Each structure stands twice: as structure tokens, then as C-alpha cells.
Amino acid sequence: MLIFSIILYFFSILCTIGTNIGMLRLVKKIDDDCFRAEIKCKEIEGPVRLSLKKTLFFYPLHKNIVWSIVNRTIKNLNHENILSFDPSLEEKDKLILISEDICFTLDEYLHRRHDKIHLTEQLIKGIKYLHDMKIAIHPFSKKNIYVNSSGVLKICFFDKSMNNMSSFVNANTEFNKLNGINHYGEKEFVDQIWSLGCILTEIFCHVYCFRKILIEDENFRDLQHQINTERIPDDSLINTINLKIRKLISEKIINKDIIELIMTCLDFVPNARPRAAELLKHFQELKTTNRLMNIN
């Protein structure tokens, strides 16, 4: 805690990257609100690397909710693939957190040499753990994912988290409507599996390979409207879009089992998507039976 306090004390005074005063050095800007820092102090031999993340308070209610999320939810999570935080400083409209050391955003890491199978397994393990804890990230995207210097994937979440075991926010508050903090529901889990499928296409295809379909295809917009209005989706529309997505993915991925795994996550019927536990079990079966060999 002494290290954390020293880092945050300096960071509250100097929030610009590259500042070097005394024992603190901000090493790298990881993304818009996350920095990598190095600190030296007499109590510890050698420099220590940690990461700093800041979030804004929009008004007093937000401040109370953010603190509650950290203290009642995030601090109780313990998993290798979930980024751990320790809140130490509140400064006017900011809460500055420290986390274990992270080096890369997922985007940045995918441009480096990496093991797609190992990365995918870590991602699914992290999602399963959160779902087991009755937590869903909203929204969930590759922007929530970091990687440390050892190649360990870390899922990060903060003020967009949902937890049905917590009583820190009333589901009917105006803040809740504005900021997406809500009580957990099954819908959030299946929505997150869709998002997982989108992230997997970027891991294995290197690009968001069906962006053009999602944005420009009238059939997709019609289908999305049916789903959003809770109408029974038209089978012909589903088949049309699925064929286009499968074709695009197949142009980038050789392994048929990976294609099928991604397609199950991208099922347009939410209840037909696998749950995280099922997905992890299936993926590990593919891995142990050597069916994940042809990965390009």
C-alpha cells in the first residue's frame, strides 16, 4: 500500500505522460485513461512497474456508485485473467486507480507475435469467471482487454459493470439509465457472448471482417430491428446474414472448428448462443484432441 500511495500522490500532481520527479516515472501511455508507471522507493529493491487508470465522476451520485463498485465488487474478484484494481486517491472529479502492471491494449498486442489459441482460452476463462460471479461487462469490447509483459490477458472493467449481488444502485435511477449500470440479467450474458464472437473474429482474422455487412447490409438492419423489438427473427434473413458472415470468416480462417465456434457466438437468436462454461469446455476439448492445429 505504501507503493500505491506514493504513486498516486505524484500522479495527482503530475498527470502528463513522461513526467519524472523523484521516484516516479510514467513510462507509457497505454490508452486514453491508462498509464504505465515505474516507481523506486527505499523500502523495495529495484524499480516496480504498475499501471494507473483514472475515471471521471460526473456528479456526486456517480462518485458514490463508483466507490461502491470498486469496494463491493472489483476488490472481491480474484482471477488471473481479470485486471485487479486498488483505489487509493480521489481528486476532485477523478478517481485514480492502480492496477497490476499491464503493457498493451489487445489491439497493440495483436500486432505482435502471439499465440491465438492461448489468447482465446484466456479470454473465455475470464468471461466464464465473471459470469460465475454473476457479473457482466456492459459494453464489452476489445477496449476492455489488456495484456501484460508475460502475455497474460487481462479483462478490465470499471463503471460499466453489473452485479445482481450488489445493492449499490437502484435499477430505476436516472443515473442508471444514462450510464448503463444495471442489475445483472441473463440478457447481459448472452449479449456478452455475441461481443466475444466479435472479438474472436479480430483475433483470428486480424480485422473486424464483417463490419461492412453490419453497417451497410439492409438485411442485417432489418434483422437487428426484429431482434431489438423482440419479434421472432425471420429465418430467411438469419440464413442470408449467416452465410455472408461465414463466407467472410472462412476467407481468413482455415480451421473449421474455430469457424464453428465463432459462428455459435454470433448466433442471431440470443438463447441459442452457448454459455461461457459450455464454450470453455468445448474449446478445451478441441485443444486436447489436437483439432486446433491449422491456425493461420
Sequence ranges of the domains in the chain: 21-207+252-289
pLDDT tier, 224 (very low <50, low <70, confident <90, very high otherwise): low
- CA–centroid distance for 232 within its chain: 30
**Residue with more model confidence, 21 or 260:** 260
Q: Measured between alpha carbons, how far is 249 from 233 in angstroms, rounded to an integer?
A: 23
Report domain 21-207+252-289's class.
Answer: mainly alpha
Q: What is the mean pLDDT of residues 152-166?
A: 58
Q: Measured between alpha carbons, how far is 56 from 78 in angstroms, rounded to an integer?
A: 25
pLDDT tier, 15 (very low <50, low <70, confident <90, very high otherwise): very low
Q: Are 179 and 123 in contact (CB under 8 A)?
A: no
pLDDT of residue 280: 98
Q: Measured between alpha carbons, how far is 150 from 65 in angstroms, rounded to an integer?
A: 33
User: From the CA atom positions of the chain, what is the Rg in Å?
Assistant: 21
User: Is pLDDT of 45 > 70?
Assistant: no
pLDDT tier, 230 (very low <50, low <70, confident <90, very high otherwise): low
User: Is pLDDT of 29 > 80?
Assistant: no
pLDDT of residue 171: 38
Count of Cβ atoms closer than 10 Å to residue 139 Cβ: 11
How do residues 242-281 score in pLDDT, each as one tens digit?
Answer: 888 888 888 889 899 999 999 999 888 888 899 999 999 9
pLDDT tier, 115 (very low <50, low <70, confident <90, very high otherwise): very high
Q: Measured between alpha carbons, how far is 153 from 156 in angstroms, rounded to an integer?
A: 10
* Residue 78 grid coordinates: 480474484
The three-class DSSP label of residue 147 is: strand
* pTM for this model (two decimals): 0.74
pLDDT tier, 135 (very low <50, low <70, confident <90, very high otherwise): confident
Q: What is the mean pLDDT of residues 55-74?
A: 57
